[in-house]
Structure formats: C-alpha cells, structure tokens
C-alpha cells in the first residue's frame, strides 16, 4: 500500500473516531431540552458527557490537522468552498463548550435557560452540518480547475445534502440516547432507552433512503461494483444497525452503544471507500477533482508524519480508553457537585 492510500484511510479513520466519540455528545445535547425534565436530569445529562467531551474534540483537531498536513490542497479548497458551513460549526462548538461552563455560574432559571438553548444549538447544528458537508463531498462539489467554489452556502443545502444531515443527526441522537441510558438511572434512564428505541426505526428508514439515493446522486458504488468484496463495509454497517435494536431489546446498553459505534464507523467508510481515490470530487468536471494522489504532500512529509502518527495516535487512543474506563460508572444525582 502506498503512502497516499495509507493516509487516505487514516484520514477516514480519524473522522470516524471523531464522529463515534463526539457523536454521543452531539446526541445528548440534541436531546437535552426534550429529555431533561428537571434541573437534576439536565445535570446528569451534562455529567454523562462532561468528563469526556473535551477529549473527544481531539479527534476533530487530529482529523483537521491530517487534512492540512497530508492533503494541503484539499484543506485549502475545503475551507474556502465550505467556509460558511465550517465557520457555523466552529461557532456552534465554541458556544456549546462555553455553555457547559457558564450555565451553573448564576442561580437564575432565565440564565440557565439561555445556556440550555445554546447547548441544544451547539449540538444539533454541528451534527446537521457535518452530515450536509460529507454528503455534498460524496456527490461532488462545484469547484473549477483552480479549486474555486462555484456556488453558495445554499448550494450545499440540496436534497441529498440535507438527507445526509438528517442521517447524521439521527445517528448521533440514537448514539447519545444509548450512551445516556448506560450512564443514568430511574426515569431519565427509561426515557433515554425509550427514545433510542423509538428513533431506531426512523434511523433505519433514513439510512436505507440514503443508500438508495446515493446510487443515483453519487458515483460511490463504482468502487463497490468493481470490487464486490467492498460490500463487506455495507454489510458490517447493517449488522451494527440491527445490533443496536437487538441489544436495546435485551437491555444490554453498552453492547448497543458499541453496535451504534460500528454503525457510525461503517457509515463514514461507506463514503470513504466509495470516494477513493477522490477526496474532494468536482461536480463540474471529474478532471478538476482533488484526489489522494494529486493533492497530497511530498513523500518525505508523508513518511515523517506516518512515524509521528504511529507514535502519538495510539497514545491518545490509549489515554482516551483509560478515561472512559475511569468514568464508566453511572452518574448519580447524590454524587454530583452543582
């Protein structure tokens, strides 16, 4: 396997790790106003992700850093063509982080209500826009031979892009509801488990619709048809999706969460595998597309980075797994500090 292919797969893996780890934060935040019936419920929901959410952001920084260092042309074109959407995501993430810290600083329902709304917006908006962005990448972006974007923010809000946004929101809300069910007790646990089960059929319908729509709106299936063994990616994704339902019915919430993680991983790699070698395909002309080969850094840079990534990515992953083990217990109201 050559360096460009290796980094292409690593690029996809890092985005998948970010969506798996921060996805349940997005999901809990999106459900925050609906499942948090009391101040105690809201505190449990915040504490369910509190010790982990900022560490989960590391994978976003890593994925962005890899894009910048390994595929600088892709980074430049992506951030110029999707500037508005990416800035909205950035501001939403900042608002969410600030909200966690500030909502408890003043003992006033109006103060807390304002920041509660910000937690919802800072969770729902990135989930939606990440889905819109990746769906548009899957179908192609209108960039010319100079990498200049020939469109507006509303160009990205096409039917396929919006369907991708809805898919990501549902993936993350189910993921978050399952995680909350593992971390909570009593009525909040019951509501979280019920919500995960109620959203699952909707997720199934949207996921199937996205797979079918992808056949007509994209060329993702070309790689699958050329190498049928790649359909294993879709099969594993389906198994993960079905596994969520099976484990929810059994009350095995941790297993349901891992099945949800497999589903998200499969959803990301469904697009990554279908795109290869494209990374930023042009919908205007295939010759204008940015690929893992024409948009990569020099071989020396890729080699040095591979050594660095081989050392530090496992360290970060090991640290994060340790943190998850340390905070694996349920969040109990009597143990929380207000």
Separation of alpha carbons 178 and 256, rounded Å: 7
- The helix/strand count (H/E) of the chain reads as 13, 2
Going by the DSSP 8-state scheme, the letter that residue 72 receives in this structure is H
Helix (H) / strand (E) element for 291: namely: strand 290-291
Helix (H) / strand (E) element for 114: namely: helix 109-139
Domain spans of the chain, in order of start: 3-327
What integer is the mean pLDDT of 36-56? Answer: 87
Separation of alpha carbons 174 and 293, rounded Å: 36
pLDDT 10s digits, 20-29: 999 999 999 9
Q: Which residues contact 125 (CB under 8 A, 6 or more apart)?
A: 88, 89, 92
**Which residue, 322, 265, 205, is CA-closest to 257?**
265
Helix (H, G, I), strand (E, B) or coil at 82: coil
Q: Token pair for residue 319?
A: 């640290």
Q: Token pair for residue 119?
A: 């937690």
pLDDT 10s digits, 102-116: 988 888 889 999 999
pLDDT 10s digits, 205-224: 999 999 999 999 999 999 99
Is it the case that residue 54 has pLDDT exceeding 80? Answer: no
Tokens 């900042």 correspond to 94
Separation of alpha carbons 171 and 194, rounded Å: 16
Q: Token pair for residue 215?
A: 């056949």
Q: What's the pTM value of the predicted model, to 2 decimals?
A: 0.94
pLDDT 10s digits, 171-188: 999 999 999 999 999 999
Higher pLDDT, 272 or 152: 272
The pLDDT score that the predictor gives to residue 81 is: 87
pLDDT 10s digits, 59-81: 998 898 899 999 999 999 988 88
Distances (CA, A) of 233 to 268, 270, 284, 338: 10, 6, 29, 44
pLDDT 10s digits, 212-267: 999 999 999 999 999 999 999 999 999 999 999 999 999 999 999 999 999 999 99
The pLDDT score that the predictor gives to residue 334 is: 62
Separation of alpha carbons 135 and 298, rounded Å: 29
CA 320 to chain centre: 17
Upstream peptide bond of 277 is cis (omega within 30 degrees of 0): yes
Separation of alpha carbons 66 and 64, rounded Å: 5
Q: Pairing between strand 278-280 and 290-291?
A: antiparallel
Phi-psi region of 30 (alpha: psi -120 to 50; beta: other; left: phi over 0): alpha
**Predicted confidence band of residue 335 (pLDDT cuts 50, 70, 90):** low
**Predicted confidence band of residue 42 (pLDDT cuts 50, 70, 90):** very high
For the chain, what is the mean pLDDT? Answer: 92
Q: Token pair for residue 199?
A: 């959203």
Going by the DSSP 8-state scheme, the letter that residue 327 receives in this structure is T
Separation of alpha carbons 269 and 275, rounded Å: 9
The pLDDT score that the predictor gives to residue 338 is: 46
How many residues are given for the chain? 338
Going by the DSSP 8-state scheme, the letter that residue 158 receives in this structure is S
The pLDDT score that the predictor gives to residue 154 is: 85
pLDDT 10s digits, 278-334: 999 999 999 999 999 999 999 999 999 999 989 988 998 898 889 888 888 888 776
What integer is the mean pLDDT of 94-99? Answer: 92
């Amino acid at each position: 396997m050559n360096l460009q292919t290796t980094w292409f797969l690593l690029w996809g893996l890092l985005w998948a790790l970010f969506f798996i780890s921060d996805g349940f934060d997005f999901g809990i935040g999106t459900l925050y106003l609906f499942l948090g019936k009391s101040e105690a419920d809201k505190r449990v929901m915040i504490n369910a992700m509190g010790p982990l959410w900022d560490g989960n952001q590391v994978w976003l920084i890593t994925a962005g850093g890899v894009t910048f260092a390994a595929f600088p042309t892709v980074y430049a074109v992506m951030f110029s063509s999707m500037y508005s959407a990416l800035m909205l995501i950035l501001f939403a993430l900042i608002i969410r982080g600030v909200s966690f810290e500030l909502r408890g600083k003043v003992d006033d329902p109006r103060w807390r209500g304002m920041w509660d709304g910000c937690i919802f917006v800072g969770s729902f908006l990135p989930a939606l826009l990440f889905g819109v962005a990746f769906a548009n990448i899957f179908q192609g972006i209108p960039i010319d031979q100079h990498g200049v974007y020939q469109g507006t923010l509303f160009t990205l809000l096409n039917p396929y892009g919006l369907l991708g946004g809805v898919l990501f929101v549902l993936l993350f809300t189910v993921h978050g509801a399952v995680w909350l069910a593992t971390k909570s007790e009593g009525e909040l646990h019951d509501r979280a488990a019920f919500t995960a089960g109620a959203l699952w059929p909707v997720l199934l319908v949207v996921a199937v619709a996205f797979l079918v729509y992808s056949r007509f709106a994209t060329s993702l299936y070309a790689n699958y048809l050329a190498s049928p063994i790649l359909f294993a990616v879709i099969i594993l994704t389906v198994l993960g999706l079905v596994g969520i339902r099976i484990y929810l019915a059994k009350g095995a919430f941790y297993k349901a969460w891992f099945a949800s993680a497999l589903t998200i991983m499969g959803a990301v790699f469904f697009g990554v595998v279908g795109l290869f070698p494209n990374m930023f395909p042009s919908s205007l002309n295939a010759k204008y597309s940015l690929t893992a080969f024409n948009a990569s850094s020099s071989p020396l840079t890729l080699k040095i980075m591979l050594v660095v990534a081989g050392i530090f990515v496992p360290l970060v992953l090991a640290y994060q797994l340790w943190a998850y083990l340390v905070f694996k217990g349920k969040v109990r109201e009597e143990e929380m500090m207000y």
